[in-house]
Structure 1
Amino acid sequence: MKKTLYCLLFSLCVAGCGESSREPTDTAGSADGLAGVTAEVEAYYAANPDFFSFKTPADLPPDLVWENNNHLPEIGSPDAIKGGTQNAAMQDFPRTLRTVGPDSNGGFRAYLLDDTGMTMAHLHPETRDLYPGLAESWAIDEAARTVYVKLDPAARFSDGEPVTADDYLFMFWFYRSPYIMAPWYNNFYSTTYTNITRYDDYTISITTRELKPDLDERVLLLRPIPQHFYTDMGDDFSERYQWEFEPTPGAYIIRPEDVRKGRSIALTRNKDWWAKDKKYWRYRFNPDRIQFTVIRDDAKTFEAFKRGDIDQFGLGLAEYWYEKLPDSDPDIQAGYIHKVMYYNQRPRPNFGLWINTAQPLLSDRDIRLGINYATNWELVIEKFFRGDNTRMNTGQEGFGEFTHPTITARTFDISKAQAHFAAAGFTERGADGILVNDQGQRLAFTLSTGYESLRDVLTILREEAAKAGLDLRIEVLDGTVGWKKVQEKQHDIFFTAFGVFLELYPRFWEHYHSDNAYDRAFLDDGSVNPERKLKTQTNNLESFAILEMDQLIERYRRSSDRDEMIQLAHRMTEMHHEHASFVPGFYQGFFRIGHWRWLRYPEGFSHKHAQGPGEAFVHWIDTDMKAETEAARRDGTRFDPVIRVHDQWAE
């Protein structure tokens, strides 16, 4: 799974962090293209016989031990009620309904795939063990680096077509195809796996190149791609499928009539969803409809929440938790709105400053070190977050043994900042207090972000940096424009974070390998290619390119030894820290929301490893309680206030 830009306001609370709209095409899925793409796919299978194998059930190893982890606890509550409409808001309209290719990496992808889709198995949010999704059972042969899977014959896509082994064979062709214009997928699916074998319509095996500690997850978290839908694959893929909703085995669909570009979009629960009565799924995905309306201004979104026009609102920012919706708020004291804080344990989104080392001056390590020392995150945490958040030390926090145990982030230090700036030639201050070099060039960079709600964070950083002679010009963009700028590598410094999946160990390739920085970063002798060109549409936002790091990343990806991987992760983290192209910001070890009392959650509210309240879709809408609450607001009836802090997983 590819990382996506982190959506600051948690799932189904406020924003979708999406992209802007483009005009649709009407050519996707035409029957005329079926024969053509089928012939191309089958020719690809035939040309790669070592990767694509076709056998019979009689060829399955006889000693396989099949499992399904059906002993794990249920997810959700048997009290959940199906039905109703959940009203939510998003700051930007999604740029596409595709989940791969250009412009597909926005936050709304969570509702298209990451939080609503289905894979062969899923990680339990409480225990982190795998539970069944599209798979009926599975068996693991570690010696052969192979996972055998029996797909559930009942599994269906939302258009009624069965999920079969062929959709997994097609998945590998699809993700390796140049048509999708997605280098990360092309690389991952070409280098991570070495074979898929079809035994019958519902039995497959997949072999990985290396025996990694998470062998089972690397296979069982794969999703099928419906070959019957992608009939017209070609160079116009991104335009052809721009506004086509891919059939899903998950609970929600998007109907064409519910896409009102620039204004609203809705998810509709599939009443014929094949998994609606399955354990682990039957108490989830409860609202019949989730209606997202574009509200670009945070203040207006909060006003809509207080009116009851949207059902819940993220209170992660201190000003909302303590000031705008304090415990003393009349709606809180009357029990109409509930406040909840839930501590979690999981890998943390890497909030910080991503410095584009391809830009003039920022290629100088002394400049970058100076920026590290000139940014006062301690004051940001104290003043803006009221001390609730924690300073990040690296870009890989929350991965247990894989997180570096001793590195600490550079703290605000004017003297050290000025010393590094002086080493880079900036020794004199201009009339405005900003450092200049002997050519009269000011020490000034544009600090951009797509987080309107964190504008004041940048203001604090700018004011403090000026004390060290550094001018940070603040540029707050909407999510669409900001993401486009950073993907095209046009930024100086970008303040953002990537969402992090519940993985055993951190990833390094996408952010730090030179393959994602330049077309050809180094010559054959290892020297820097003087003619190299920046590569766009990747997650290497720092234009990070060090040959030794490339070599370590490749060893890390090949390694099957956990201890070696830990050592490599620590060394790569040290190199990244030494390079100083990332200024670690903060993380939040909890999430907080306010929700109207008719939006219900299970008794325990959430789960140990949940990223946000809506991630597992265990909530539901109680329409009777909504009517009761609306009547109570009119006549002044009050309920007991509900303010809960779930701190059993606090670290």
Structure 2
Amino acid sequence: MAGVLHLHRARRTAGADHLRRRGRARGLRSEEIHLLPLMRRIRHHLTALIAGAAALAGLACRQDETEVRRDLGFDEFVPAYNRHIANWLTEQNEATLRERERITAEIANAQGARLESLRIIAEGLDRDLEKWRFRSGLGDYFRFTTLDELPPDLVWEDGMDQPEIGDPAAKKGGVFRRFIPSFPPTIRPFGENANNSFRGEIYEAIELPLVNLHPETMGLIPGCAHRWAVSADGRTTYFRIDPEARYSDGVPVLARDFMVSAYIRISDHVVNPYSKQYFRENVAQFTVYDDRTLSISLPEAKYLAPAVAGGIPPSPPHFYAEYGPDYNERYQWRFPPTTGAYEVREADIVKGASITQTRVKDWWARDRKYYRHRYNPDKIVHTVVRDESKAFELFRAGELDTFYLTRPDYWYEKSEMEPVYKGYIERVTFYNRYPKVPRGLYMNVSKPPLDNRDVRIGIQHAVNWRKVIDVMFRGDYQRLNAFNEGYVHFSDPSIRARPFSIPQARAAFAAAGFTEEGPDGILRRPDGTRLSLAVTYPATPVTDRMFAILREEARSCGFELRLDGLETTVAYKKGMQKQHELSLGSWLITPPMPDFHQFLHSTNAFDDKGNPRPQTNNTFVWGRPDTDRLSERLRTSRTIEELRDAAWQLQRIIHDEAFFSPGYSVDFVRLGSWRWVRWPDCPETRFCPPVIYDPHEVFVQWIDEDKKRETLEARRKGIGFPESTRVIDDYRIVGDETPESAEPGTPPEPTNPPR
């Protein structure tokens, strides 16, 4: 966890050619935030200059002040920000009260559906009022006090009841070699251009926040904190920092450093709107009791509150002593001391070519449970290889240690090669338990005729995802059934995607008024309106071929699917501007809980004038009081039962309203590794913990130097080893796929028939 770090890390898109070599752009999906500035910079108050010696003295004082004030600036920031938050809370409370009074007056005269809608709105406003009162009662946002104020009845936990991660047989040492498709524009953890695809490799996957989640059980495990406790109301988590917690330069981690982490991300020295909104709206208070004890309060109680509050990493104040308005330039290529196992040294940044991570000598957590069998290579070298086919050739030659083979062309064709036949490269199919990426068509319901439910249902029956799976992906992938599928407790297993069906598609289109067929075979309304919509997608060889198939199948249903393939960034921006009709989307949401708020809440759909709100992830442009209430309830639920109830209802609404056409999913990773790269094979971990998207991100692999020498010597002599292609399905969850009709003319009944 990193960046602004909360339980649902900054969302990222999962590319159409998933798992090829995943870019870990944790924030590609968090540009939805458009915010007000948080505070003015602290003003420097200087007396007016006067003539003569007084003027020179004043100038000298000003120069001295500039030199003195070239420090972190945290102490000056705290009181100013505390005042800002107090004023903001007052404004929010007053605005909510006014809106509550208006809704109360409207309720008195409302009836039927409008009355129910207003009651839902009133319920949300009452919850907001309680939240503002709670936060105002806490006092300062950044607060310093003593241990005497710790509640005496806290029940402290340490998370030591979870299984080990990794393999005790793992060896330290060696160099692990990977490729990256481009060189990052900066290695800063935040600020301008920091939200790039490489950031996760050196920050999110490495640094330790206060607590972490176990990548198999999703239980809480220690990070920088070795103990934690939750208040009776579930809103405040108390943390005791591990006495041995150190940065990579040996400086101890202190409680104040977590406040500093917030400060450097929300001050006006950086343009970081998502962080500013996150800390303002999702953290109610930081309290430091002593150097090793702090608490973080949330505005509302949450399930797994310690993970939500404790996902914030510390920031070393001594490193940021020169923090100021020129932060972006000054810190552009400076890697901060880390709490994690790997650092990036200045000499290991070869601009445009490579970046090397080096394991921290005497890393403080090297012998801690959950970390002692991980982070094994001495170095991890990331070499820039812009062309994927060239990267594969480097892998084939033994210049790269692993390569993703998930795409069928790599698995069935390209990896059928001598290094595999001779056992130098080992192939594995690993079934994970990661929630399924909601990959499919996102329908903009603000664009007619997509505001008509029957049209949307017809489109679902007219999009032949099964043919895409069978033709392009050799039948290896699965049909996705629902939005946010694959969360063990929080996904409704009864929901099934509507199958491709010409009769059912045409019946739904007819119910929407498209009753006539034009000379080109496309349906139209009596007024001449054609059933024609554009689908926006990032143009790649894979997606171009996929949509060529979908277009032809849709035409057989009387639906014209116009292809709007664009450069990836352009396609993304078009969706963020809500200028699309249909768009291909795939968002990666971090477990253990699904997230619906950013995709369904009306605040992310419309602005104050009722226009589609740009730069949010609600690309459905969907807003309704019941989905608002449920998505808010999901955010504030404290039990599995409450979460499941809200999540299942939201999944059912998405299915019934048919504004998301579920595409395909992949529940496995296929990976090629040179045989000197070893993966766990022990009772605690079979190859890799299961709740992962990329096996590399938990760092359980290691380099066996003896096997490397043996393999290289055998290759020189032309000697082979037994071929190794394994399937590891210990963690696989087997479920029924959507029943698809064998004959288009005799389709099964849809889950939700057209009306």
Relative distance call for 1:75 and 1:570 in structure 2 (3 A) is closer
Deviations 1:303-362 (A, max 9, x none): 332222221111222332233325xx4322311011112222232222222234455654
Aligned to 1:163: 253
Relative distance call for 1:243 and 1:372 in structure 2 (3 A) is farther
Structure 1 length-normalised TM: 0.85
State the identity %: 39
Relative distance call for 1:262 and 1:472 in structure 2 (3 A) is farther
In the aligned structure 1, how far is the partner of 2:356 from the partner of 2:585? 27
In the aligned structure 1, how far is the partner of 2:715 from the partner of 2:252? 48
Q: What amino acid does structure 1 have at the position aligned with 2:436?
A: R
Mark the structure with the bigger radius of gyration: 2
Aligned to 2:420: 332
- Aligned to 1:400, the other structure's residue is in SS state coil
- Aligned to 1:460, the other structure's residue is in SS state helix
Relative distance call for 1:143 and 1:177 in structure 2 (3 A) is same
CA contact (8 A) 2:303 2:636 kept: no
Aligned to 1:523: none
Give the C-alpha shift of residue 203 in structure 1. 0.5
Relative distance call for 1:377 and 1:235 in structure 2 (3 A) is farther
Q: Does 1:6 align with 2:95?
A: no
Q: What amino acid does structure 1 have at the position aligned with 2:550?
A: L
- Aligned to 2:484, the other structure's residue is in SS state coil
Q: What amino acid does structure 2 have at the position aligned with 1:2?
A: A
Q: Does 1:383 align with 2:471?
A: yes
In the aligned structure 2, how far is the partner of 1:178 from the partner of 1:416? 56
Give the C-alpha shift of residue 375 in structure 1. 1.2
User: Structure 1 residues 195-204 or 237-246, which shifts more?
Assistant: 237-246
Q: What amino acid does structure 1 have at the position aligned with 2:635?
A: R
Structure 2 length-normalised TM: 0.74
Aligned to 1:457: 546
Q: Does 1:633 align with 2:711?
A: no
In the aligned structure 1, how far is the partner of 2:678 from the partner of 2:548? 37
Relative distance call for 1:600 and 1:452 in structure 2 (3 A) is farther
Q: Does 1:499 align with 2:553?
A: no
Relative distance call for 1:305 and 1:77 in structure 2 (3 A) is same
CA contact (8 A) 2:224 2:241 kept: yes
Aligned to 2:703: 621
Say which of 507, 510, 518 aligns to 2:598: 510
Relative distance call for 1:573 and 1:439 in structure 2 (3 A) is same
Aligned to 2:200: 110
- Aligned to 2:227, the other structure's residue is in SS state strand
In the aligned structure 2, how far is the partner of 1:242 from the partner of 1:363? 46
Equivalent residue runs for 1:59-70 within 5 Å: 59-70=149-160
Deviations 1:413-437 (A, max 9, x none): 2233334445556555566545566
Aligned to 2:675: 597
CA contact (8 A) 2:533 2:582 kept: no
Relative distance call for 1:266 and 1:453 in structure 2 (3 A) is farther
CA contact (8 A) 1:10 1:314 kept: no
CA contact (8 A) 1:377 1:461 kept: yes
Give the C-alpha shift of residue 455 in structure 1. 4.6
Q: Does 1:566 align with 2:644?
A: yes
Q: CA RMSD in A?
A: 3.5
CA contact (8 A) 2:436 2:485 kept: yes
In the aligned structure 2, how far is the partner of 1:62 from the partner of 1:138? 14
Equivalent residue runs for 1:129-208 within 5 Å: 129-143=219-233, 145-173=235-263, 184-208=274-298
Give the C-alpha shift of residue 199 in structure 1. 0.7
Relative distance call for 1:99 and 1:506 in structure 2 (3 A) is farther
Aligned to 1:526: none
In the aligned structure 2, how far is the partner of 1:19 from the partner of 1:142? 33
In the aligned structure 2, how far is the partner of 1:284 from the partner of 1:485? 41
Say which of 657, 662, 666 aligns to 1:579: 657
Q: Does 1:351 align with 2:388?
A: no
Aligned to 1:398: 486
Say which of 11, 20, 23 aligns to 1:16: 23
- Aligned to 2:652, the other structure's residue is in SS state helix
User: Structure 1 residues 614-623 or 144-153, which shifts more?
Assistant: 144-153
User: Structure 1 residues 566-575 or 416-425, which shifts more?
Assistant: 416-425
- Aligned to 1:615, the other structure's residue is in SS state helix
- Aligned to 1:122, the other structure's residue is in SS state strand
Relative distance call for 1:416 and 1:549 in structure 2 (3 A) is same
Give the C-alpha shift of residue 501 in structure 1. 1.7
- Aligned to 2:76, the other structure's residue is in SS state helix
Aligned to 1:417: 505
In the aligned structure 1, how far is the partner of 2:182 from the partner of 2:452? 36
User: Structure 1 residues 478-487 or 165-174, which shifts more?
Assistant: 478-487
Say which of 136, 143, 156 aligns to 1:53: 143
CA contact (8 A) 1:452 1:476 kept: no
- Aligned to 1:320, the other structure's residue is in SS state helix
Aligned to 1:26: none
CA contact (8 A) 1:41 1:170 kept: no
User: Structure 1 residues 97-106 or 54-63, which shifts more?
Assistant: 97-106
In the aligned structure 2, how far is the partner of 1:540 from the partner of 1:129? 30
In the aligned structure 2, how far is the partner of 1:262 from the partner of 1:364? 50
Number of aligned pairs? Answer: 628
CA contact (8 A) 1:18 1:480 kept: no
Q: Which runs of 5+ in 1 are unaligned?
A: 21-29, 521-528
Aligned to 1:544: 622
Q: Does 1:313 align with 2:403?
A: yes
Deviations 1:16-73 (A, max 9, x none): 26599xxxxxxxxx99643545412343246653433322123323343333233433
Give the C-alpha shift of residue 130 in structure 1. 2.0
Aligned to 1:23: none
Relative distance call for 1:211 and 1:460 in structure 2 (3 A) is same
Aligned to 1:535: 614
Relative distance call for 1:125 and 1:202 in structure 2 (3 A) is same
Relative distance call for 1:142 and 1:343 in structure 2 (3 A) is farther
Give the C-alpha shift of residue 615 in structure 1. 2.0
- Aligned to 1:614, the other structure's residue is in SS state helix
Aligned to 1:44: 81
- Aligned to 1:72, the other structure's residue is in SS state coil
Q: What amino acid does structure 2 have at the position aligned with 1:389?
A: Y
Relative distance call for 1:129 and 1:562 in structure 2 (3 A) is closer
Deviations 1:499-538 (A, max 9, x none): 23231x3111122223333433xxxxxxxx34x35321x3
CA contact (8 A) 2:612 2:621 kept: no
Q: What amino acid does structure 2 have at the position aligned with 1:619?
A: Q
CA contact (8 A) 2:534 2:580 kept: no
Deviations 1:169-221 (A, max 9, x none): 23444565576655554444334443322110110122333333322322333
Q: What amino acid does structure 1 have at the position aligned with 2:536?
A: L
Q: What amino acid does structure 2 have at the position aligned with 1:511?
A: F
